[in-house]
Amino acid sequence: MEHNGIQFNLIAGTLTANGKEIELTKTELKIMYYLFKHTGEIVPRIDLVEYLWDNEIHIDDNTLSVNMNRLRKKLEDIGLHDFIHTKKGLGYLLCLKTI
């Protein structure tokens, strides 16, 4: 999958940008897959939680925030600042342009 020159390889578990590649954890892969699959759409947090953890009772909203923060840090390491936008009160959206 590709979005604005960013290559997402689900099989290899990697994301490549600016000539740099990062390896993603299982949860990070699922987050990126869901966001890439819904490019151009705001993905509600609850939809992402249900997709990731299939309504597991012990999962709280903070678990998603922790995983998003870790993923964003990895994205920043390869020069993708603000690749995932937070739409306050709505959810997440992949940015339309990369710098």
Higher pLDDT: 96 or 47? It is 47
Q: How confident is the model at residue 99 (pLDDT cuts 50, 70, 90)?
A: very low
Q: What is the mean pLDDT of the chain?
A: 89
Q: How far is CA 78 from CA 8, 48, 98, in A?
A: 13, 24, 12
Mean of pLDDT values over 8-29 = 94
User: Is the pTM for the entire model greater than 0.75?
Assistant: yes
Contact 95, 85 (CB under 8 A): yes
Q: Estimate the share of the chain in helix, then strand, then coil, as percent rounded to the nearest 5.
A: 40, 25, 35
Q: Rounded to an integer, what distance in angstroms lies between the CA atom of residue 15 and that of residue 72? A: 12
Model pLDDT for residues 59-80, shown as the tens digit of each residue: 667 889 999 999 999 999 999 9
H or E element that contains 97: none
